[in-house]
Structure 1
């Protein structure tokens, strides 16, 4: 089983996304942190750190202009 680690950036909640995928979790975490610094204060932006294994995705962190939450956005 290969686990993938993803960082996902959307400028609008239901809009298109930019997504990066890595096998090393630290690389995805670094990109997530970078995107939060660059875009995290903009309204409607959603940034997620995601883990994927066996075709199933698990959202680890979500950042919006309201701040960070663990798990999926509410």
Structure 2
């Protein structure tokens, strides 16, 4: 069975540097995602993502931008 990581990723601009947390427990990553949306989600260029990574392949489960939230799955190239 593969390795699964759960990530929360915060970027203040879409292509900018990222702050990222990594957990093995999905609920912890979800909590951090929710916290970051509350703290930073009003920013006009902010991007916050909840990501599941299995064997190095990322899938965006939820994504927050100034336009609101989009729920996945969205593969990340």
TM score, norm. by length of structure 1: 0.93
Counterparts of residues 7-26 of structure 1 (less than 5 Å): 7-26=8-27
Counterparts of residues 1-74 of structure 1 (less than 5 Å): 1-71=2-72, 72=74
What's the C-alpha RMSD, in Å, of the aligned pairs? 0.8
Aligned pair count?
72
2-structure distance, mates of 1:12, 1:18: 11
TM score, norm. by length of structure 2: 0.90
Structure 2: state its 5+ residue gaps. none
Q: Which runs of 4+ in 1 moved over 2 A?
A: none
